[in-house]
Structures are given as C-alpha cells and as structure tokens.
C-alpha cells in the first residue's frame, strides 16, 4: 500500500538537481512524505466523504435484523420498487455513492446468482426476472453516484458454509458481482459470524476461524484482479477500516493510519476508533450508522428516524474528523426510501449547503511565519483556492508555523475547516486557533488530527483576524485548505 517516494524514482535526474541548488531552487522541492501515504484508490475514496448503505433483503419483509437462512424466497416481494427514487434520495442528501447488501447473513441474493436458487429468481417480484443489483447499479450510474457491494462472508443458508467448498462459492459470487454490474467503488466485508443457521437444512451451529477460513489474502486478490480501483472495507482494512462502533462517531483524534499486522475482518476492534500513530499503514476510518435504530426497514421505527440535528452531529464527528460517513437508508416494503427519512435528509442537506456555501476566509490577507523555499508553489494562499492539490508547506524542520488571516472586517463564524495534503501523509499532530480580541490574541479552539478534513464546530466567534498555530507536527506541515463558516442561525427541527 505504501508508494515509492517520487524522489527515489528520479535518481537519474540527481546531477541536474545538484546544479540547480546553486540558484536555490532545491529548497522549493516538495517535502518528503511522512509515514504511510494513501494509494490512488484511497485518495479517490477520501474525496467521496459521504455515501450510503442500502440494507434490503428478506429481512425487510420478515421484520428481522438477521435472517436465519431458511426464509422462503417468496417473502421478498416489494410492491413498488423504484431504484430511481432510492438513488435520488441519496443524491439529494449529498451522497456520492451507495453500497447495496447484495447478500446479507441470511444468504438471499438480490441478484439472480447462477450458484444458488436462494435469490430473487425464485421470488414473485417481477415474476422472478428482477435484479436489484442491476437496477440500483444502473440507477447510480444514471444519477452520477458510485456503486459498491456488501457481500456477507457469513451465509446462514448455504449448505457448505464452514467447509472449504463455500470459499469457492463465495469467490464465485464476488466474481459475478464484480464482472456483471459495471464499475464498483468498494467491496464491504462484514466481520460478523454468529454460528447458528439453516445451512441447507442442517440447522446447527457452525463455527469458523475468521482469521484463516476465508483465506483473506486470496479473497481480496479476486477484487484487486477484477476491480483494481475498488477499495475494500473490513475491521482490518486493507483499504479502509471500521470505526469500531455503529453510531457513526469517529474518535478524537481519528488518525488515518493503523498497524495492519494481525488484523483481519472480524478481528479485535481495539484501536479502530482513533487509529494508531505512528503506524505502518494508511487505513482510514469509515463511520457506518443507520438513519433508523435498525439496519433494515421496520414500520415500527417510522417515528424514530434520526433528526437533522442528529445527522449533523454525526456528520461533524465523522467526516469532520477525517473519516468517511456511510449512512444507511433502508428501503421499505414498497422498495422505496420512506418519506420520513427523506424529510430528515433534506433538512440535513439544506443546513450543510447553507453552512458551506460561503468560505468567510475568502479574500483574507495571509501572512505565514514560514513558506517553503519562499516559493509561490507552497504559498499560504494555496489554502484558500478550494483545491486539494495545492498546499501551504514550510521548510524542513519548521514544524510549528503560524498563519494569520486578516479578514479586513469583523466576521462571524462557528465552524473552522482544515485539510492536509494527503499524498504527503498525515503530518500534523496538534494545532490551535486564536481570534484577535481587544488588541490581543485569544485562543478559541485547539485540536489534534486533521488528515482529509477537520471540522471544528463551536460557539460563534466574531473577529477581524484569525490565527492558526500548528503546535505539534511530525514533519513540516502541508495544509491544503482552510475555511471559516457560519451555520444558519436556526437549524429547524423536522416536522415528523
Ligand atoms: C453488521 C451486521 O451484522 C449488520 O446486520 C449490518 O449489516 C452492519 C452494517 O454490519 O456487522
Ligand atoms: Ca488548496
């Protein structure tokens, strides 16, 4: 996962670079990366920030959270399935992708897999001709969202589960999903393995060793071979990690890095919430949480949809701590996202859009205590250009620089936003923010990890000057964005 340092690749150019040092431009070469750095596929995933889960299967119709594996295929019968309605709900909420439970623990397949009869092909829905994976994946493409799959490793229906034959079955299904449905941005590997099940009629408890049974390196290889751009999720990476809870809350700090040795899907959750630093691997966190108490739709939870204020709190504590947010929207028995969920999402989105429409730091006069090689390429103004690829960096060894933003007039804000330039690794350990008040600097916030994004949401501050102080960094900082924002005064409660 670690990339070669660009400096090592271009050894052939060294004599030329040496010559140039005479005219002092070597000081303006980019900083060396610090620690593990993200792969291209991980960078694309970081940019998504917010996407959704769709939990949908026989459980939707049996009112359960975990099916036993003996459900009659006939129970799966949405009355008014509408992939466009589902995907539009996600899009309007600002999601950049959707991950569908193609198969949950009960083993029922939402696509007509040729390896089992336990699928939509034996359901009355669309006369057995339906394919939820196809409909959702094509609707995602129509609406410009990425599509991903959840394929439960645990299968309470399959007769071979816990035997070697099942691994062949599981990989065959992975291949079907990865070859027949266009581009896939992620494969989500759940670590749950409960034991009891139907297992082709055996109705017994089957235990497996999570660490060895699925032969993860070779199972992951199927994904790498067929979809090299896809990122894989599990408790142990390899590309992004579980955050250690299902409430959508990342640790504070939440480091993008982790020591992967000894971790696998279903391994201990120790360290997942905050990550580890220093660490050997870039394995950022995903916060998965449902908009309702359960992962699947239950009519009795219609009045328990998370309120916009709760969704906002989750957003600030997940995306705002450098993780991605995977918010579950469970389709109902019609095969649509329920009106209450849509209403809550719409208000949540409206508030976020109103908040982030206007960076109040735009146009500020910037003065940095240090700029790498005094070069334009690394100038402080790069933090205000809305581009992740440009950044402010300091000279090597300058790890606690300051940046003053002169706003020209009093400005009121309650959200501060920072990004690091990820290709150079996670560099900043801690920082503080000051406002200029009554002729002196007064600290109003301090924090730790930044990574992809850090949002600090607090009381309203009115000032005409803000100062950012990096108070600890493992290497000279490389900050790509800085923003000041004001949440709308009134965040309306939903009228459910
Ligand atoms: C868990 C599963 O057991 C739940 O049913 C759900 O799919 C959740 C996202 O992951 O481990
Ligand atoms: Ca920038």
Can you state the angle between helices 339-356 and 83-92, rounded to 10 degrees? 30
Model confidence at 496: pLDDT above 70: no
Q: How confident is the model at residue 192 (pLDDT cuts 50, 70, 90)?
A: confident
Mean pLDDT of 273-302: 98
Q: Is 194 in the pocket of ligand 1 (CB under 6 A)?
A: no
Residues of the chain with CATH 3.20.20.80: 47-356
pLDDT tens digits, one per residue of 234-259: 998 999 999 999 999 999 999 999 99
Residues of the chain with CATH 2.60.120.260: 365-485
Model confidence at 125: pLDDT above 60: yes
Q: How confident is the model at residue 27 (pLDDT cuts 50, 70, 90)?
A: low
Alpha carbon of 31 to ligand 2 centroid (Å) = 16
- Mean pLDDT score of the chain, rounded to an integer? 94
Q: Is 154 in the pocket of ligand 1 (CB under 6 A)?
A: no
Looking at residue 354, its pLDDT comes to 98
CB-based contact 487:304 (threshold 8 Å): no
Model confidence at 416: pLDDT above 80: yes
CA torsion sign for 218, 220, 222, 224 is negative
Model confidence at 403: pLDDT above 80: yes
From the CA of 422, which ligand is nearest?
A: 2
Model confidence at 20: pLDDT above 70: no
Mean pLDDT of 153-164: 98
What does each C-alpha distance from 77 to 202, 265, 333, 400, 483 come to in angstroms? 27, 32, 8, 60, 48
pLDDT tens digits, one per residue of 60-75: 999 999 999 999 999 9
Q: How confident is the model at residue 193 (pLDDT cuts 50, 70, 90)?
A: confident
From the CA of 388, which ligand is nearest?
A: 2
From the CA of 389, which ligand is nearest?
A: 2
pLDDT tens digits, one per residue of 454-492: 999 999 999 999 999 999 999 999 999 999 999 998 654
Residue 79 burial (CB count, 10 A)? 10
Mean pLDDT of 158-165: 98
Looking at residue 490, its pLDDT comes to 64
Q: Is 51 in the pocket of ligand 1 (CB under 6 A)?
A: no
- What is the β-pairing status of strands 402-420 and 454-473? antiparallel
Which is more confidently placed, 43 or 28? 43
Beta bridge partners of 436: 441
In CATH, 47-356 is 3.20.20.80? yes
Q: How far, in Å, CA of 148 to CA of 142, rounded?
A: 15
DSSP state of 334: T
The atom of ligand 1 lying closest to the CA of 101 is 7
CB-based contact 279:35 (threshold 8 Å): yes
Q: Is 286 in the pocket of ligand 1 (CB under 6 A)?
A: no
CB-based contact 153:189 (threshold 8 Å): yes
pLDDT tens digits, one per residue of 319-329: 999 999 999 99
Looking at residue 491, its pLDDT comes to 54
Mean pLDDT of 123-142: 98
pLDDT tens digits, one per residue of 422-443: 999 999 999 999 999 999 999 9
In CATH, 365-485 is 2.60.120.260? yes
């Amino acid at each position: 996962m670690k990339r070669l340092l660009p400096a090592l690749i271009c050894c052939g150019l060294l004599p030329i670079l040496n010559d140039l040092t005479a005219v002092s431009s070597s000081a303006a070469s980019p900083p060396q990366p610090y620690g593990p750095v993200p792969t291209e596929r991980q960078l694309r995933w970081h940019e998504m920030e917010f996407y959704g889960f769709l939990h949908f299967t026989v459980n939707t119709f049996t009112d359960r959270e975990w099916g036993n594996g003996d459900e009659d295929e006939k129970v799966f019968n949405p009355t008014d399935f509408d992939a466009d309605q589902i995907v539009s709900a996600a899009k309007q909420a600002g999601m950049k992708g959707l991950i569908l439970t193609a198969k949950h623990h009960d083993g029922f397949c939402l696509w007509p897999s040729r390896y089992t009869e336990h699928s939509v092909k034996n359901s009355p829905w669309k006369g057995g001709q339906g394919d939820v994976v196809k409909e959702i994946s094509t609707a995602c493409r129509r609406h410009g969202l990425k599509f991903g799959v959840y394929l439960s490793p645990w299968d309470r229906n399959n007769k071979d589960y816990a035997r070697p034959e099942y691994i062949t079955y599981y990989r065959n299904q992975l291949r079907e999903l990865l070859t027949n449905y266009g581009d896939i941005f992620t494969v989500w590997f759940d670590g749950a393995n409960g034991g009891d099940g139907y297992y082709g009629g055996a109705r017994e408890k089957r235990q497996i060793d999570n660490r060895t049974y699925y032969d993860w390196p070779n199972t992951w290889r199927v994904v790498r071979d067929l979809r090299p751009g896809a990122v894989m999720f599990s408790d142990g990476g390899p590309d992004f990690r579980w955050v250690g809870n299902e409430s959508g809350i990342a640790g504070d700090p939440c480091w993008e890095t982790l020591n992967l040795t000894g971790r696998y899907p279903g391994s201990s959750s120790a360290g997942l919430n905050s990550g580890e630093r220093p660490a050997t691997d870039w394995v950022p966190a995903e916060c998965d949480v449902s908009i309702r108490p359960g992962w699947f739709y239950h009519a009795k939870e219609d009045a328990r949809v998370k309120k916009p204020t709760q969704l906002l709190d989750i957003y600030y504590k997940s995306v705002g701590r450098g993780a991605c947010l995977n918010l579950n929207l469970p389709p109902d028995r019609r095969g649509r996202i329920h009106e209450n969920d849509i209403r809550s999402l719409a208000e949540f989105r409206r508030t976020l859009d109103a908040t982030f429409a206007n960076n109040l730091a735009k146009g500020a006069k910037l003065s940095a205590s240090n700029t790498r090689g005094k070069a334009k390429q690394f100038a402080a103004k790069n933090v205000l250009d809305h581009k992740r690829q440009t950044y402010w960096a300091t000279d090597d060894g300058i790890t606690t620089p300051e940046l003053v933003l002169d706003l020209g007039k009093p400005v009121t804000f309650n959200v501060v936003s920072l990004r690091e330039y990820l290709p150079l690794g996670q560099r900043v350990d801690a920082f503080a923010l000051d406002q200029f008040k009554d002729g002196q600097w007064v600290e109003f916030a301090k924090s730790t990890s930044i990574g992809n994004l850090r949002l600090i949401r607090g009381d309203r501050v009115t000032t005409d000057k803000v100062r950012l102080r990096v108070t600890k960094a493992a290497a000279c900082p490389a900050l790509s964005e800085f923003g000041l924002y004001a949440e709308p005064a009134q965040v309306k409660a939903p009228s459910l």
